[in-house]
Amino acid sequence: MVADSGETAPAAEREPFMRIRVVGAGTMGRGIAQWAVVAGHTVELADARAASVHEAVAFVRSMLERAAQKGRMSRAEVDRALAGLLALDSPHEAPDGGAAPDLVVEAVVEDLEVKAELFTGLERVLPATTAFATNTSSLSVTRIGARLADPGRLAGLHFFNPVPLMKLVEVVPGAATRTAVTERLTELVETSGHRAVTVADTPGFLVNHAGRGLVTEAFALLEESVAAPASLDRVARDVLGLRMGPFELMDLTGLDVTASVMETVWTGFRHADRLRPSYLTANRVAAGLHGRKTGRGFYAYGQGEVGPDVAEPRTEGGDPARDVAVTGDAAAALATVAAPSDTSLVLVPTWGTSVAAAVADGGLPPERTLGLDPLCLDAPRRVLAVTPATEESAVRDAVAVLARDGAAVTVVRDTAGSPAQRMLASLVNVATQIAERGIAAPDDIDVAVTLGLGYPRGPLAWADTVGAARMLALLRALHAETGDPRYRPTPWLAQRARLGLPLTTPMAPLPE
C-alpha cells in the first residue's frame, strides 16, 4: 500500500506551492522549470555549475519564444513566465530576508549519495516549511529522506522527458512522508496542467515497473527464436496497436538504460518470475549495441540505413485460391476462404496453446496445419504460426490466401499462444500484480501506462475488452503449456474473473 506517516502538518505546510526552487539545470531540470513558470509559478533555478543555469534559462526562453511564434502562447504570457524565472548562484542559497521557496524539486544526477547530501545541505539553510521533492526515477525515496532530520518533508516527484509534453507525474510518498506534502504535490501537478498518480515507494515506481511486462516478454520470444525483432515489432504495432514495437522502443531509449531498469526492478522484487530479464541483454550492452545513440542496436542507424523501417519478408508464389479449413471464431471472420477438401490447408486459432498441441490432440495433418492468432482477425496484419512439420508450399499458399483482402501477413514459429497473446498476457499479468500489491490504484495504473508508455489503452481496461475470464484462460493455458511460472495468473485476475468483475475493480474496503 502507498505509505503515509499519518502525522499532521502545520497550517503553513498546507498552502499551495507558489515559489519553487529547481536544483539541477540539465534536461529534466530545465523542463521542470519551463513547466512550472508557464503554469504561473515563480521558479528559482540552480545548479552546481553556474554556466548550466544560464544555458538553461536561455533554453527556456527560446522554447517560450517558439511557442509565441507558433501561436501557442501570447506575448504577455511569455513575458509573465520569463519574469518568474530567476537564476541562483548556488543550490544552497539562503533566502537572506527574501521569500523562501515553498518547494525544492531536485533533478540532479541519479545517485543516492549526491541527492541525500543536497537535501541535508538544503535542510540547514531553508525553513522547516519548505517541502522537498526528488525527481528520482529508480532510487528509494524513503532512503533519501532517511538522511534528513525531518524525513516527513520529502517525497518523490517523478517527471517524464520531455516534461512539458509528457503529461504524467508520479507522486511517490516515502515511508515517513507527511500526508500534507503528498496532497500539496498532487495539487501542484494537477493545477499546472499535468496528471498526478500516487505510487508506493517501490522499485521502478509505476511506469517503469509496468513497462517490464512488454519488453521482458519480447526478449523471451527472441530467446526462443519465435521471430526476428522486426517481425515482433510489426506484430506489436499492427495487432496490439502500440505506437512502437518493443525493440524499436529499446533502441530509442537505449538498451543500456532498459537493461539497467529491468535488472533493478527484478532484483528489487526479489527475482519475481514475471519480471525476469533476459540473458541476451548483457552481451549486447557490452558490445555497445545500445540503439540509436550508438548507431546500432536491434536495427542499424548508420548512413543510408533505415532503422526499424526494414523491408518486410515476402513469401512469393502462393496459391490464393487454395481451399482452407478454418475452425472456431476465425471461420466467420475469414469469410473469403473456400470450402474444405482433403487437400485443404488447416488454420487453427490457438489461445495460449501451440499448433503442435492442436495437431496431436485433433489428429490434424501436420504438413498443412498452421496456427492463426485470433487477436489479428480484426487487425491490418495476420499472424501465421508454422511448425517444423509444415510444408513450405502450405506456408506460401496460406500467406496468399490471408493476403487476399489486403492484409499484411507475418509468419512466426510455433509457440504457446502467439507473440501478440504472450506480450498482452505479460503486460496484463504485471499490471494486475501492481494492483494486487497496492502500489497504485487500478485507475491510476491505466492512466499512467497510457500517458507514460503510449499504449492504446491501460492494461487493466485492455484486459477487460478481451474479457477477464478469457485472459485467465489465456494465462492458464500458457502456464500449462510452458511450465514457466511467469505466466501463473495473479490472484487479482483470477478472483475478478471468477466473480464476473472488471479487472479495474479496486480492492474490497476493510474496517479500520
The one catalytic residue in 44, 170, 248, 481 is 170
Dist CA 21 CA 106 (whole Å): 8
The one catalytic residue in 135, 137, 426, 429 is 137
The one catalytic residue in 135, 140, 208, 426 is 208
Dist CA 65 CA 71 (whole Å): 10
> Does the annotation mark 231 as catalytic?
no
3-state class of 300 per DSSP?
Answer: strand
Residue with cell 533505415: 306
Dist CA 418 CA 462 (whole Å): 17
Beta strands in 270-331, from DSSP E residues, in sequence order:
324-326
What is the CB neighbour count within 10 angstroms for residue 287? 11
**DSSP-assigned states of every residue in 476-496:** HHHHHHH--GGGPPPHHHHHH
> Does the annotation mark 113 as catalytic?
no
CB 212 within 8 A of CB 249: no
CB 205 within 8 A of CB 158: yes
DSSP 439: S
**DSSP-assigned states of every residue in 384-438:** EEE-TT--HHHHHHHHHHHTTTS-EEEEEE--SS-HHHHHHHHHHHHHHHHHHTT
Q: How many CA atoms lie within 13 A of 346 on its CB side?
A: 19
The one catalytic residue in 158, 194, 290, 479 is 158
> Does the annotation mark 7 as catalytic?
no
> Does the annotation mark 62 as catalytic?
no
3-state class of 115 per DSSP?
Answer: helix
β-pair type (85-87, 42-46): parallel
Beta strands in 140-224, from DSSP E residues, in sequence order:
154-159, 168-173, 195-198
User: How far is CA 57 from each of CA 38, 85, 232, rounded to the nearest angstrom?
Assistant: 13, 8, 43
Could you give the residue numbers annotated as active site?
A: 137, 158, 170, 208
